[in-house]
Amino acid sequence: EVQLLESGGGLVQPGGSLRLSCAASGFTFSSYAMSWVRQAPGKGLEWVSVISGSGSSTYYADSVKGRFTISRDNSKNTLYLQMNSLRAEDTAAYHCAKQASTVTAHFDYWGQGTLVTVSS
């Protein structure tokens, strides 16, 4: 059974940093691309970033480019999102999602999300 468990969310001040983690199990982690997708309270889904299975390719939404960094440790079956220079508009639940294969394949499994609140 595929399981994705996010952690690392919390309250952070504007301009601060936070690192999210997503522990994956139930599949061969290194064989699949992975994404972060966020959802602001009461709002819709917004894709944030995707990384290939090997970690060699990464893509970002314009809204986070230059501030967020996606990475993965295939030896630990863990996906990360390093978030710097956080803004109020980054407040959201952050879901990790498994792609069905490559970065352009759909999201077939999602985690429950971890809440990030950016506020002073």
Residues that bind other proteins (CB under 8 A): 35, 37, 44-47, 50, 59-62, 95, 100, 104, 106-108, 110-113
Q: How far is the CB of 52 from other proteins (least distance, A)?
A: 13
Instruction: For residue 48, give the amino acid letter.
Output: V
Asked if 111 contacts 95 with a C-beta cutoff of 8 angstroms, the reply is: yes
Q: How far is the CB of 44 from other proteins (least distance, A)?
A: 4
**Residue number with CB closer to other proteins (31 or 57):** 57
d(CA 29, CA 39): 24
3 state DSSP class of 24: strand
Q: How far is the CB of 112 from other proteins (least distance, A)?
A: 5
**Residue number with CB closer to other proteins (30 or 46):** 46
| CA distances, 1 to each of 24, 25, 26, 94 (Å) | 10, 8, 5, 21
**Residue number with CB closer to other proteins (73 or 108):** 108
**Residue number with CB closer to other proteins (12 or 37):** 37
Instruction: For residue 86, give the amino acid letter.
Output: L
Tokens of 1: 């059974």
